Structure 1
Amino acid sequence: MSRFAHPAGDRHAEVLPEERPPHAPADLNALNPALWPRTSERIDGTITIGGVDVRDLAAKYGSPLLVMDEEDFRSRCRDYRASFHDGDVHYAGKAFLCREVARWIMQEGLGLDVCSAGELAVALSVGFPPERITMHGNNKSAAELERAVVTGVGHIVADSFEEIARLGYLADKHGVRPKVMIRVTVGVEAHTHEFIATAHDDQKFGLSLNSGAAAEAVRRVLALPSLELVGLHSHIGSQISDTAGFEVAARRLAGLLAQIKDEHGVVLPELDLGGGYGIPYLDGDDAPDIKLIAESLREIVANVCASARLPLPRLTVEPGRSITGLAGITLYEVGTVKDVEGLRTYVSVDGGMSDNIRTALYGAEYTARLASRSSEAAPMLSRLVGKHCESGDMVIRDLYLPADLAPGDLIAVAGTGAYCRSLANNYNYLPKPAVVAVSGGQARVIVQRETEEDLLRGQL
């Protein structure tokens, strides 16, 4: 079983000497194409992305800096559209969303998942077609639901009995009939970290299939003429590397579809299996083939529906990380290099858990390289840490960097395009970093760096 299938998020104890990485990479300058943006390369020793030298990016825009490879992002959108040509692909905005990314999604023909009024506002601000938007969330406020109803979003995924009642009231109030899906908790134990597994019964999302809550939710929606029940939704978790969990989820959802047909004489036309497809973060991690995933999911749904004697529903998937994750890197500047009694070398950078809390939150792992030059120095066991007042402020717990690393060098961390900027915070009053898109040798800011004025705004 690869490390990709079972992330190391469970390992919170101090790394003992025997647990350290057993071998340094054969080449500390190499860029594994499975881990880095598709346009990445080294030219004269320096990493370039989208034809732009990272030294120029840091000099012009500062650091930390999230760099997004626009062509990589768009090409992965096209890969999904081609692979799921007979279904729908909705980008999961929670992974990373800004106005420019919303434009890319819109232009590439994908739908968009949002789970708050703020994410919905981002989409609407660039003219994203509301009928291609799905509203998620386990605790949507009345105001958020009303805005979704009035805006005419394509689907609202109901997550509780209270929400169904609110939706019915708001639909009557505004004289509209929104399309509704029921989020079903199917009881699948996905092989991922506890904090990003979402289909077991003991958690906050959805309505339990095992308890009968999902079937009762169906009854309540069908009892409200102002709501149009169009399908079932399931999301088993995040950073999933195979389709076994999706097969179990699809079989259980098909059973509920058959129950709905028998009990109500209603055949629901849509099935949304969510997202959660993983990406590789380390050498040796699996890199799932989207085409193979699509073929597998299509076969799974066809087989379970045939077994249940149901017509084939239209399939929707919701990728987020697997579109944006590998398109982004983070640039840091080295501040201090501190050897600690021969155990390892602590390399401190000018960001940390304010721009990437995933390592501290659930043990995420990353690959990094010296980016501003190449080096033939010996490998040095290092810990890449931030500048915050927490000993857990680590970007990468253990990695090898060149022994001649010095203050002022630039470090690039791969695979940071998903959830890093979305989860960014202002701990120790650090401004959130800028986001720059690169393409065709050009760079442009798509999210401005916060300033001290931004940090103080709103304080009295």
Structure 2
Amino acid sequence: MRAHEAGALHGDIGNRGPAWLRTPVDVNDLVPQLWPRNVVRGPGGALAVAGLDVRDLAAEFGTPVYVLDEDDLRGRAREFRDAFPDADVYYAGKAFLCRAVVRMIAEEGLFLDVCSGGELATALSAGMDPARIGFHGNNKSVAELTRAVDAGVGRIIVDSFAEIDRLTALARERGVRPRVLVRVTVGVEAHTHEFIATAHEDQKFGFSLAGGAAAAAAFKILDEDVLELRGLHSHIGSQIFDASGFEVSARRVLALQAQIRDARGVELPELDLGGGFGIAYTTQDDPAAPHELAKRLRKIVDGECAAEKLAVPHLSIEPGRAIVGPAVFTLYEVGTVKDVDGIRTYVSVDGGMSDNIRTALYDASYSATVANRASAAEPMLARVVGKHCESGDIVVKDEFLPADVQPGDLVAVPGTGAYCRSMASNYNHVPRPPVVAVRDGRARLIVRRETEDDLLALDVG
């Protein structure tokens, strides 16, 4: 399904020009860049993923359900690994993490970054080599740091002076020398939503470069000589398409590398440029392929190192959304279709903001299509909404659906692999959906559906 001009739609459509409203739309069309690679329409018009009809998936696993195209995820992981053969590619677990995905990315040769004790526990329980794990977080507890140190986590990205003190004390107590990176806030304004831009000065992550805190943190670690400072880390935000932010970030971080060399005679051997690479949620998005990203980033780093007379450090990147985001779609069932006085048609599905908060939280745009059949009906501009007691419970703000969409139809929303299940909630006491991985015509449950018994088990009052 084509989300035509979806990125430009944020409210009523009455002020949109007649030419735009007359634009022909094929409601049965699947735009390849929006969907997992093994999704097609079958002979009867129903979607199939890796050979399985979505109607059969809905019958077996219920709706809503997150459907993961396993070969798609693995293929995207390999593309990043192959595009960056001399770098460490860390899958950003915060995008979506479960034990099956940990095993998939490990089998494809990737590293893993985690940002909480729970993510670390998931990684370790799935058998991830702790030496291939990086541990993020702006407020890691002593318990979390202790577990990371005892497990032998390969890189701890330190985020505050208090954390440096905690980790230093822990290392002395344990008689170990953890490898660390200093997270640097470089003051780059990423062209993204305020809440997912992470490198401007007024935010909670990292050490300020402009204020001198980043240099002070590096000097403190080097002077105390308890932790092993491997390098610097920078992350400028998420859902980024413009490489200019990475260029400015690399220039500033490598200038700090040069400052550390000049002050302490140490050339740090590693540089982590973070992730945040964007994906296509609608036809307005045009993400770069991994090999193009690699070419741009390598050129940036090589050029800046030459300018600073630095040896080129070992590079790390952290794609999460770019690997899992496009590999998943969410399948819903339509419950009601409501025309509101000719202003807008609301198509209500059996999920909503509890399984995808991004539309409400970030004003994110998504696409959608009727998934159980093809339709010859005229296209109708609709809003796909959820079942929650909240007027902001919107899944897809504006999308062309067939005018004959009706209760019982299945609606699929692509691009929901990142930050949907991982940010899901039990709002209105709605149990969270399952995750089903499909490969070679077979489906397997990798995260089961929550039940009301699960919710009540926590309620001890």
TM-score bracket relative to the smaller structure: over 0.9
Letter in 1 for 2:131: E
> Match of 1:208?
208
Letter in 2 for 1:43: G
> C-alpha distance in 2, partners of 1:335/1:283?
27
> Match of 1:38?
37
SS of equivalent to 1:273? strand
8 Å Cα contact 2:25-2:379 kept in structure 1: no
> C-alpha distance in 1, partners of 2:238/2:387?
29
SS of equivalent to 1:223? helix
> Match of 2:220?
220
8 Å Cα contact 2:270-2:314 kept in structure 1: yes
* 1:314 and 2:314 are equivalent in the alignment: yes
> C-alpha distance in 2, partners of 1:94/1:43?
34
Letter in 1 for 2:40: E
* 1:256 and 2:256 are equivalent in the alignment: yes
> C-alpha distance in 1, partners of 2:23/2:373?
19
8 Å Cα contact 1:25-1:400 kept in structure 2: no
- After superposition, residues 49-128 of structure 1 pair within 5 angstroms as 49-128=49-128
Letter in 2 for 1:187: G
CA drift of 1:303 comes to 0.5
* 1:17 and 2:17 are equivalent in the alignment: no
> C-alpha distance in 2, partners of 1:126/1:352?
30
- After superposition, residues 130-169 of structure 1 pair within 5 angstroms as 130-169=130-169
8 Å Cα contact 1:34-1:287 kept in structure 2: no
Letter in 2 for 1:113: D
* 1:289 and 2:289 are equivalent in the alignment: yes
CA drift of 1:181 comes to 0.3
Letter in 2 for 1:335: G
> C-alpha distance in 1, partners of 2:96/2:223?
37
> C-alpha distance in 1, partners of 2:170/2:273?
27
> Match of 1:417?
417
| Distance of aligned partners of 1:24 and 1:376 in 2 relative to their CA distance in 1, 3 Å threshold | farther
| Distance of aligned partners of 1:446 and 1:25 in 2 relative to their CA distance in 1, 3 Å threshold | farther
8 Å Cα contact 2:95-2:324 kept in structure 1: yes
- After superposition, residues 237-256 of structure 1 pair within 5 angstroms as 237-256=237-256
Provide runs of 4+ in structure 1 moved above 3 Å: 19-25
For residues 346-388 of structure 1, the C-alpha deviation after alignment (integer angstroms, 9 at most, x for no partner) is 1000000000000000111111000000001011111100000
CA drift of 1:287 comes to 2.7
CA drift of 1:152 comes to 0.7
> C-alpha distance in 1, partners of 2:199/2:53?
43
Letter in 2 for 1:130: P
Letter in 2 for 1:281: Y
> C-alpha distance in 2, partners of 1:99/1:24?
45
- After superposition, residues 236-385 of structure 1 pair within 5 angstroms as 236-385=236-385
> C-alpha distance in 1, partners of 2:94/2:398?
28
| Distance of aligned partners of 1:413 and 1:314 in 2 relative to their CA distance in 1, 3 Å threshold | same
CA drift of 1:225 comes to 2.2
5+ residue gaps, structure 2 = none
| Distance of aligned partners of 1:25 and 1:246 in 2 relative to their CA distance in 1, 3 Å threshold | farther
8 Å Cα contact 2:159-2:182 kept in structure 1: yes
| Distance of aligned partners of 1:225 and 1:18 in 2 relative to their CA distance in 1, 3 Å threshold | same
CA drift of 1:7 comes to 6.7
> C-alpha distance in 2, partners of 1:22/1:168?
62
For residues 146-182 of structure 1, the C-alpha deviation after alignment (integer angstroms, 9 at most, x for no partner) is 1111111000000000000001000111111000100
SS of equivalent to 1:91? strand
CA drift of 1:25 comes to 5.4
8 Å Cα contact 1:433-1:450 kept in structure 2: yes
Letter in 2 for 1:334: V
SS of equivalent to 2:381? strand
> Match of 2:437?
437
| Distance of aligned partners of 1:129 and 1:25 in 2 relative to their CA distance in 1, 3 Å threshold | farther
For residues 302-344 of structure 1, the C-alpha deviation after alignment (integer angstroms, 9 at most, x for no partner) is 0000100000100000000000000000000000001100011
5+ residue gaps, structure 1 = none
| Distance of aligned partners of 1:48 and 1:431 in 2 relative to their CA distance in 1, 3 Å threshold | same
> C-alpha distance in 2, partners of 1:194/1:7?
17
CA drift of 1:457 comes to 1.0
Letter in 1 for 2:220: R
SS of equivalent to 2:274? coil
> Match of 1:28?
27
- After superposition, residues 440-455 of structure 1 pair within 5 angstroms as 440-455=440-455
Q: How many residues align?
A: 454
8 Å Cα contact 2:239-2:277 kept in structure 1: yes
> Match of 1:390?
390
For residues 93-145 of structure 1, the C-alpha deviation after alignment (integer angstroms, 9 at most, x for no partner) is 00000000000011011000000000000000011000000000011111111
8 Å Cα contact 2:111-2:132 kept in structure 1: yes
> C-alpha distance in 1, partners of 2:447/2:302?
42
TM-score, structure 2 as length reference: 0.96
> C-alpha distance in 1, partners of 2:175/2:83?
38
For residues 283-302 of structure 1, the C-alpha deviation after alignment (integer angstroms, 9 at most, x for no partner) is 24213111011011011100
